Every structure is written in C-alpha cells, then in structure tokens.
Structure 1
Amino acid sequence: MPFPAPASKLPDIGTSIFSVMTQLAQECGAINLAQGFPDYDPPLPLQQALARHATTASHHQYAPMPGLPRLREAIARKTTRVYGIAAPDPATEITVTCGATEALYAVLAAVVHPGDEVLVLEPAYDLYGPAIRLQGGVPVYVPLPAPYFRPDWDQVRAAFSPRTRLIMLNSPHNPSGAVLTTTDLDTLATLLRDTSTMLLSDEVYEHMVFDGEPHRSALQHPELRERAFVLSSFGKTYHATGWKMGYCIAPPALTAEVRRVHQFLTFAVSTPTQHALADALETDHLHDQQLPAFYQHKRDLFRELLADSNFELLPVPGGYFQLARYSRISALPDVEFARHLTREAGVAVVPVSAFYHNGHDAGLIRFCFAKQEATLRAAAERLRAL
C-alpha cells in the first residue's frame, strides 16, 4: 500500500501557470511570450566576470550570510546614485538573497504571525498569497481597477484593520506595468502614519519605467523608508533571471528579522556570482540608466507590430509586460484562450486570471516583450493572423 499523502498546507495550489505555459510552449514549439525571462544574454563583461570568478579566482566557498561586503557596499553606492538619498548601511540594512523570490518569502516568514492580515493589491504575482498563508497569515485582497491598475486608496483604507501587519506593493507592477506616483506614496504614508503596519515594496522592475518618467521608490520617501522592506532583482536588471540574485534594503531592526530567516532559508547565495555583480556595479554606471530606453524600444515595437491586430492593447507605463484584451477574437475564458493561442497560433501567453486569488477572468492575457526583435516580429506575425 502506498504511503498516504500528507495533509497539504496549500491544497488549492497547483503548478505555477508560468511553468505550465512554458511547458506547453515547449511541447507545441510555440514562441514563448509567457514566462518573464529574456531570450538574450547578460552584458558580456558581466558574463566574463562570472567566468573569471568561478574558474580562476577560487571563489568557491560560502559567502558571508548577509552577502559579500564589497557587493553590499556597491549596492549602497548604486542606491545613492540612482535615488539621490543617503546610502543604506551595507552592514545593517542590505541583505543579498537568492533572487527577489527568496527575499519576499524571508520578509513574510520574518514578520507575519498566525492571524496577521496582509493587504495584497491584485492582480498580483502568484507567490504573494501562498507565501502569506504558509506563515499562517491572512491575505486581504484589494482590487486594482482596469485598465490602469492604479490603487484606489479609499478601498485600501477600508481594507485596513487592527490586525493589518503588512501591505505589499509592486511598482512597476506585474502584470500590468502600472507605476506609483509621488502622490501615491504620500497617500500611503498618511494611511500608515499612526499604525504599526509595515510595507513590502517589490521594485524588481525599477529600471523599466518609460516615457521620461522616473521610478518612485519607497526608499525616497522618508516616512515609508522607516517601515519598508524594499526588494530589487539583479536577475531582472542584468537579463539574468537564472542567476537568482536579488537583495532587500530595510532599516536595521527590520533587516535583523529578515536575516534571522535568511540564514536558515539559503544562508548565503552564489559566491562567484556575487563577485561578478560587484564588478559590474563598480565599473559600469550606465547599464541601469540605459534600461528604460532599451525596454521602451521593445514596448513600442511590439505595440506597433500589433497595432492592426484584433488585440486591444492596454497602457504600459513600466515593466516588460503587455496586457491585451482578446474579445474581438474569442469568447473563451482566458485560460482556455491562452492554451488555444499556444497550440493553434504558436504563441504562448499567460492568462491574467492567474494573478487573482479567485481566478477572476477579465478577458485579458499577458505578453512578455523582453525578447529579441526577431522573436517579437515572429510572434506578432502569428498574432496578426488571428
């Protein structure tokens, strides 16, 4: 008799939709615009630095638990350069993590107690809800209204309760690309002012804001910075999602709690990769400055290629995803349409209902345009035929 399966902590959660659609794309030979990863390589000097540190520099043993000091120091300098603020203390305010995913989980595991409520603005990255529940927390969902997906602060205010431990923000937003304004941050600071509620600010697409607008970071708002965990992703910034490298910036008391979890979750992340990224931050101050134009070109090209298609394209102020309505093509639910598109048109996408805890279907799909121009043109040719 087989051993019985244990009672699941997440009985309603299956395999991530991103993995499902990527697998289907591979089976069908489809162009994969579903999962959010580039089909081009990191900058060559960064690749060369990784090879050097992995093969000739003997950096093969554990890094310090919070991250290499030289990398944390480089992050501090970069933060000051980009945001014009006092540098976070590398010793007490910066923790290098196994991607922003680990940082998200470590923050939630560190501060969410059973029964605590966490406000989640949705659609939201599919990790948020399950990670909260695994800590015994209660996700409280607040809808972001389409087509602009900007917070309705009256609804956010109404969702607060004495048990609200944390609010999670994501800007630029996945999947919509919406970005927060200075007014949004001021409003949030007012809401939080007389509370003990903390902020988790997921800013992994921080260098992908378009049309001449800057990214507004919680680090730039003095009131919010005092209670915020701010997450960044080297994988997103350097086109290297498979490296799984990110970091968390937070005040010393909050950082101490993150590190209590981090030390027992991954302890430390790849030593040669940390050295390579430190090299990049120390020698190249232009890469992140060039990313907005780099990705805006891809956004504009993809939108131009689909301008005469039967898809209705929603605005994209930031990030590297394009949402689209498909009601002029099909009345299928979004999950079925995504599968149909992958099998029949040869282009894989993600149904936006996957970003809602209750599977809300607004008739939207998500394309990733972090692809080579040839990939975007080939996908658009297939999509225009619908």
Structure 2
Amino acid sequence: MYFDTLAVRAGQENYDPVTGAIATPIYQTTNYAVANVDEGAARCVDLEAGYIYTRLWNPTQKALEEKVAALEGGEAALATGSGVAAITAFFTEVLKSGDHVVSDGTVYSATQYFFSEILPKFGVEVTFVDTSNPGNVEQAIRQNTRVIYFETPANPTIKLVDIAKVVEIAKGHGIMTAVDSTFASPYLQRPLSVGVDVVIHAATKYLGGHGDVQGGVVIGKKDLIMKIREGTLKNMGGIIDPFAAWLIIRGIKTLAIRMEKHCANAMAVARYLEAHPKVDRVYYPGLPSHPQHELAKRQMSGFGGMIAFEVKGGLEAGKTLLNSVRLCRLAVSLGDADTLIQHAASMTHVLVPREERLKAGITDGLIRLSVGIEDHRDIVADLEQAFKQVCC
C-alpha cells in the first residue's frame, strides 16, 4: 500500500470483530481476565500469548505500534508515554556500564541532559561530535562504542546528517545506529530503509499533530523491540495510556495531508525570512542557501515544517520579536496545527551552558519556528508586525 493508505488503514485490522467498528476502540482497562491459571501463566511468560496488564501491553497501544511500524517500514514498534521515554527506554535496555555512545552535539535538551548527567552515573560515557561531518564520527568511535545517535533534521538548528554515510561507518565497526526522526516524520524520511537500526519519534509532535497528546515510539527489529518491552518498559514504566495512543492513531490518519501543508507553508515563510533585513541567516533545508540543501533533496521527500533563523541583535532582539507576535504561539513544542515560535537560548536551552550551546550552533539570536497549517500569509503578516518592534 501507499503511505497515505497505510496512515489510514494500518494497525486497525480486526480490532473489533464483535461490532465491526471502523475506528480503533479505546481499551481503557488495566487488567484482562484469563480463562484459567494455565492461561494466566502463559501470558505472564510470553506477552504475545495474550494481554495480562496494561503496563505490559494494551490493544490500543498495539494498534498504534503496528501503524507506525508500517509507516517506517519496520518489523515492530514500541509506544511510550513521551518522546523522552522512548529515548530512555531504548538506551537503558541496550547499554551497560562501561559502554560508550557517540552522539551529535545538537540534540533535544532533555536528551542532552540524559546523556550528560544521567548515563555517566551508571558508567556510560557519551562523546558529543558534529555528526554532519562523517570524519568526526569515525574519530570518536572506540572499542566499547555501542550506539551512534543523532537527530536529522536536528533540534533546534535544522542541521542534517547524512544517514547513509553514518550507517556505513557504524556497520564497519559493528555499532548500532539510532536516529530521532521526529522533525521529518515517516512521511518525509524513513531511516530504516538505508540501514539504521532504530528510529525514534516524539509522537507528541507531527504524528499526533494537534498539540493535545504526549507519546513516543521506538521502531526497529522485532527481537529488540520485544526486549525493550519485556525489560525496561515492563519494569521501569514509561508506558502510554490507551486514550493517548488512540489520539495519536487519529492524528496519524491525516499525517500526509498535514505534512504537505506544513512543507508548503514553511517554504513560503522561509523565503520571506531570508529576504528580511533584520534576519542574519535562515536555516531551512528547502532553501538553496542551506548548507545541506543537496543532502535534503537526496535524503528527504520534502523539506518539513521546521525553520530556524538568527535575528540581528542577538538575545534581546530575539526576546523582543517573540514578545511581539500575536498569531504565532510562543511555545516550546512543535509539529502542531498552530504555528509555534520559541527562543532557544532563553527557553528550551536556557539550562545548557552558553559555551556548550554556542558550540552546538545555538546562538543568542536563534529562533525556532514550527510552521503550522494556517494560511501562510497570516503567519508572514504576524512576523512582519513583530519585526517592526525589533531595533537593530
């Protein structure tokens, strides 16, 4: 089936054979009755033998997992309560004391905290490099390197990483690769198709698409996904609740339509920003000025809805711009129907030391714009009136 059809139909086969309901039911339950002790024992030993407890698995959760796995072209998927829960569940399961991780230096702030502050407590070391230069990845690898991890496009700088080249390096050393593909969504990019081992999504963003639900997904080989489910997820929590899973299922049905609008709007807004005299630089993969524009054309089927740009005047100019918007929502998330704007230095990355932030390309005047599905002319008009308040 084509992507648009999978987005609507995958994961909902025979989920309500009693009534024939077309919409996936919300199985709002914590427990499941068994016919006898032997059946209960079998379900406790083998989760695929049947449902036993929602912390382990739930039919609505499973429907979501099957849908996302189909969209990514993966064997299996694991849904979690948030994108951060997906990241931590994966790494907690595959790493042990003494292991080493190579990560891009430009990652989501919560991911950076997990790598910098939490993993070292358990004897895991993380080396941060610019993975957009494959040579940096090669040089950072050690004998005990277990995983190479990066986001593409990256948060919040919209930097791209050549997935195929990093995979080639990793396979040459027998190392796993994990990619956070949240900014692209499965509609624009499918890393598993070029050999990535694990893809992670914050389903809160484009998959859900409406700013009303939190969730995360890990996609990969079935044996690895079941290992995470039976290990970290079962014993440490991080589960997704049935209603949240259902909301994401509903959101995914319109993913293709929404992504087309996000992409078209973002291109129009990016062109406006690039021509604005109060903007130093615009980072959008669809612009020829983006340093990885050619890579974006090869690696993605569209350029996405995320833009980063630097305002002349630095920190204060960035604050003034954001305090002056009216239509755009001043908020830290992304991938919503609404256009969301945020200032990384004073908001999402405020706890990151300035030296580390600048090293990752997050300058004082960097603005991240998640372009929504409103009319792009209204988005541009709002930015224009906000820019008039900025002195530079």
The interval holding the TM-score normalised by the smaller chain is 0.5 to 0.7
| CA distance in structure 1 between the partners assigned to 2:185 and 2:306 by the alignment | 14
Distance 1:342 1:57 in 2: 39
Asked if the contact 2:310/2:365 (under 8 Å) is kept, the reply is: yes
The gaps in structure 2 that reach 5 residues or longer are 1-20, 32-52, 286-302, 331-340
Q: Which runs of 5+ in 1 are unaligned?
A: 1-51, 145-150
Structure 2 SS opposite 1:201 = strand
Mapped to 2, the partners of 1:155 and 1:302 lie a distance apart of: 33
1:383 to 376, 384, 387: 387
CA contact (8 A) 1:208 1:295 kept: no
Scaled by the length of structure 1, the TM-score of the pair is 0.66
| Cα offsets for 1:316-348 (capped at 9, x unmatched) | 12443322223xx32x4x4x5544544578876
Shift of 1:187: 1.9
**Which structure has the higher relative contact order (CA within 8 Å, separation 6+)?**
1
Q: Deviations over 1:127-162 (max 9, x none)?
A: 222212312222211136xxxxxx110111111111
Q: Are 2:366 and 1:368 equivalent residues in the alignment?
A: no
- Conserved in 1, the CA contact under 8 Å of 2:318 and 2:343? yes
Match of 2:357 among 347, 359, 364: 359
Residue 177 of structure 1 contacts residue 319 of structure 1 at CA under 8 Å; is this kept in 2?
no
In 2, the alpha carbon distance for the partners of 1:164 and 1:123 equals: 19
Structure 2 partner of 1:95: 78
Q: For the residues of structure 1 that align with 2:380 and 2:369, how far apart are their CA atoms?
A: 9
AA matched with 1:128:
T
How far does residue 114 in structure 1 lie from its aligned partner after superposition? 3.5
Are residues 240 and 113 of structure 1, via their aligned partners in 2, closer, same or farther at CA, if it must alter by over 3 Å?
farther
Give the Cα–Cα distance (whole angstroms) in 1 for the partners of residues 202 and 250 of structure 2. 16
Is the CA contact 1:233–1:245 (under 8 Å) kept in the aligned structure 2? yes
CA distance in 2 between partners of 1:266 and 1:252 (Å): 20
How far apart are 1:311 and its partner, in Å?
0.4
Q: Where does residue 21 of structure 1 map in the other structure?
A: none
On the 8 A contact 1:349/1:367 being kept in 2, the answer is yes
Q: CA RMSD in A?
A: 3.5
Asked if the contact 1:298/1:369 (under 8 Å) is kept, the reply is no
Change in 2 beyond 3 A, CA 1:233/1:251: same
Residues 204-215 of structure 1 aligned to structure 2 (within 5 Å): 204-207=182-185, 214-215=188-189
Alignment of 1:31-180 (within 5 A): 59-61=28-30, 64-69=54-59, 71-73=61-63, 75-77=65-67, 79-80=69-70, 82-83=71-72, 85=73, 88=75, 93-132=76-115, 133-136=117-120, 137-143=124-130, 151-180=132-161
Change (3 A) 1:64 1:362: same
| 2:277 corresponds to 1:296 | no
Taking the TM superposition and a 5 Å limit, the aligned residue runs for 1:128-277 are 128-132=111-115, 133-136=117-120, 137-143=124-130, 151-180=132-161, 184-207=162-185, 214-215=188-189, 217-222=190-195, 224=196, 228-236=197-205, 237-259=207-229, 260-266=231-237, 268-277=239-248
Which residue in 2 is equivalent to 1:19? none
SS of residue matched to 1:131: helix
